[in-house]
Structure 1
Amino acid sequence: MTIHFVVHDEGDSVGVVVVEGLKAGTKLTGWIMDQDKLIEFDAKNDIPIGHKLAIKGIKSGDTIIKYGVDIGKAVKDIGAGEHLHVHNVKTKRW
């Protein structure tokens, strides 16, 4: 079985892609490290290695949690399996 993304804790809202060439429509398997648990869903977009993907639905204005840390806020609704990047997440710093 291929692990496509990793998540530190099930309280996180994103995982990090760990394989090259992830394409929309791919059945994804992710590993939640702290709970040693697997989750699955379909990729909604092509997502480059090292980039984030939503592991649950996120509403516009919601805080994004990665590694248990607030990394910003959603500026539009994001569905599970969608790519998170500068087009839909912004820092809260400024």
Structure 2
Amino acid sequence: MTEKRKFAVVINKNDNVATAVKDLSVGEEVYITIDGQEVKITLLSDIKFGHKFAIVDIKKGENVIKYGEVIGRATSDIKKGEHVHVHNIESLRGRGDWKVS
């Protein structure tokens, strides 16, 4: 039996992204645990150590949640397994043009 290695972490059951704990490659199958359940994600992008990838489809305008906290808003649709970074999310913190509710 092949060991399923966990190369990404999800801290909170409400998170919609995982954080890579090593460099990962497009097409790689990554196993994560969400609220006690093991989930397999096939990566659609290369993911560098410390970077995030979507664990569910995230629609444009939806909040991106990491560690149970909103860290930004999707600026485009993000597919499950896709890299999540400054190219497809915007910060909601420290912006004078947005009021965060």
1:31 CA displacement? 2.5
1:41 CA displacement? 1.8
Aligned to 2:39: 39
Aligned to 1:68: 68
TM-score of the pair, normalised by structure 2: 0.84
Q: Which amino acid aligns with 2:11?
A: H
The 4+ residue runs of structure 1 with deviation greater than 6 A are none
Q: Which amino acid aligns with 1:64?
A: V
Q: Which of 22, 25, 28 matches 1:26?
A: 28
TM-score of the pair, normalised by structure 1: 0.90
Aligned to 1:53: 53
Q: 1:23-53: CA deviations, max 9, x gaps? A: 1001111133xx2332102000000010001
Is 1:3 matched with 2:6?
yes
Task: Provide the alpha-carbon RMSD of the alignment.
Answer: 1.0
Q: Contact 1:12–1:65 (CA<8 Å) still a contact in 2? A: yes
Q: Contact 1:18–1:49 (CA<8 Å) still a contact in 2? A: yes
Aligned to 1:16: 19
Q: Contact 1:5–1:31 (CA<8 Å) still a contact in 2? A: no
Q: Distance in 2 between matches of 1:77 and 1:4?
A: 24
1:19 CA displacement? 1.8
Q: Distance in 1 between matches of 2:12 and 2:92?
A: 22
Classify the secondary structure of the residue corresponding to 2:81.
Answer: coil
Q: Which amino acid aligns with 1:11?
A: N
